[in-house]
Amino acid sequence: MQKPENPQQQSANQTIDNEAVQSDAKAAGISNDSTIQTHIESDSHPNLEHLLKEAEIRAAEHHDAWMRAKAEADNIRKRAQLDVANAHKFAIENFSTALLTVMDSLDAALMVENASLENYKSGVELTQKQLIGAFEKFGITIIDPKGDKFDPHQHQAMCMVDSDLAPNTVVQVMQKGYKLHDRIIRPALVSVSKAQGT
């Protein structure tokens, strides 16, 4: 069994222990002094402020790049709209140019004085050939279905008539139809044969 230490020796041991703890804390950079702690905290603030400034600069750069990209996209959209508008506006320019020769022929026919009926007829036939040539050049074809089977997609029946032809056959074309490539721009107006005995 150990003897209890006397109070003076106990106090000396505590003092030695406290000094050892303080020297270890100083070696580790730890202190109870509030001025030193404040100094350490103030060193960390400039780092945060610096990071914040860098983040703000990057955000401004990204915002500027986004604004430029947005403006460029708006410009591209406006140019595309203008191109589409011009395409609609001038789509028939070439077709119009082809029709000018037909108009010139009609003007020349009207300027002729004392022309005979035969001359007018031949002039109109030549002008019609020019017009048909312009139509063919741009994909406009004539629908003239006399004797063909009635097709509701290309023909419009005006009446049903008695005929020796098979039922639903075009007997007469009252007005020719036209199509642009595969699209019907005007159906042919026709009379159609009805079934015998009806």
- The pLDDT score that the predictor gives to residue 120 is 86
- The pLDDT score that the predictor gives to residue 198 is 61
Q: Which residues contact 142 (CB under 8 A, 6 or more apart)?
A: 132, 135, 176, 177, 178
- The pLDDT score that the predictor gives to residue 26 is 53
Six token digits for residue 137: 């050049």
In order of 94, 103, 142, 181, the CA distances from 100 in angstroms are 10, 5, 20, 22
In one-letter notation, the amino acid at residue 10 is Q
- The pLDDT score that the predictor gives to residue 112 is 84
CATH number at residue 184: 2.30.22.10
In one-letter notation, the amino acid at residue 107 is D
Q: Which residues in the chain show pLDDT less than 70?
A: 1-46, 197-198
- The pLDDT score that the predictor gives to residue 129 is 94
Domain count, the chain: 1
Strand order from edge to edge, sheet including 140-143: 140-143, 177-180, 183-186
Domain for residue 20, yes or no?
A: no
Note the pLDDT tens digit of each residue in 79-103: 999 999 988 888 888 888 989 999 9
How far apart are the C-alpha atoms of 36 and 83, rounded to whole Å? 71
Domain for residue 85, yes or no?
A: no
pTM above 0.75, yes or no: no
How far apart are the C-alpha atoms of 56 and 47, rounded to whole Å? 14
**195: containing domain:** 140-198
For 178, which DSSP code? E
- The pLDDT score that the predictor gives to residue 49 is 86
Domain for residue 159, yes or no?
A: yes
